[in-house]
Amino acid sequence: MDTESIRESLETTGLRFTPQRHCVMAFLMEYPGHPTAAEIFEAVNRLDPRLSRATTYNNLRDLVQAGLVREVAVEGRAARFDAKGVRHHHFICDRCGNVEDVEWYEVPKPALSSLGKRTLRECELIVRGLCTKCAPAKGRDGVSAV
C-alpha cells in the first residue's frame, strides 16, 4: 500500500494522516505475520527514532478503533495486530501463540433479538489448537507421539 492509499484510508475513517500513523500502517501492510505492539514499536522506531512507545501504542489503538487494523487477542500473551486488506479469520496455536490467517467464510450472525440494544460491528472466527510445528508427530502406527 503506497502513501496515498494509506492517506486515503486514514482520512476516510476520520483519522488525520501523520508520519507516525503512516509508519505504523506501512509496517503492518508489509509485515507477513501478526506482530505484537512491542515488535511494531521496535520496527518503526528503527525507521524513525523520534517515534515513542506511547505514540506507537496510541496509533495502534486509534487504527483498531477506526477499523483499519485488527487486534487479535491471544490468551495469556501479548495481543497481535493485523492490517491485511483481505478479510480472513485466525488460527491461534495453544502452545506457541503463533497466529495464522484462515480463509474467510461468512459466520452466522446472532439474531438481532439476542443482541438487545447492542449493535454488531463484526463477527470473527478464531480457531484454536496446535499449529503444524507444535502438533505431535504421528508414528508409523498412526498414534500421536507425545
Q: What is the pLDDT of residue 144?
A: 45
Has 134 been labeled as part of a binding site?
Answer: yes
**Minimal CA–CA distance to 96: which of 80, 77, 70, 73?**
77
Taking CA atoms, 73 is separated from 65, 82, 101, in Å, by 15, 11, 14
Has 123 been labeled as part of a binding site?
Answer: no
Fold of 86-146: Dna Ligase; domain 1 (3.30.1490)
How big is the CA angle at 123 (ends 119 and 124), to the nearest 5 degrees? 150
pTM given for the model: 0.72
Has 131 been labeled as part of a binding site?
Answer: yes
Pinpoint the alpha helices (H) of 3-75.
3-12, 19-30, 37-47, 53-65
Cell numbers 486509534 correspond to 62
Burial (CB < 10 A; 0-12, 13-18, 19+), residue 15, is middle
Domain range summary for the chain, segments of one domain joined by +? 1-85, 86-146
Q: What is the pLDDT of residue 141?
A: 47
Any idea of the CA torsion for 62, 67, 70, 73, to the nearest 10 degrees? Answer: 70
Angstrom distance (rounded) from CA 126 to CA 7: 30
Q: What is the pLDDT of residue 100?
A: 87
Q: What is the mean pLDDT of each run of 10 residues along the chain (146 residues)?
A: 85 92 92 91 91 94 91 83 79 88 76 73 81 74 44
Fold of 1-85: Arc Repressor Mutant, subunit A (1.10.10)
Beta bridge partners of 92: 99, 128
Has 23 been labeled as part of a binding site?
Answer: no
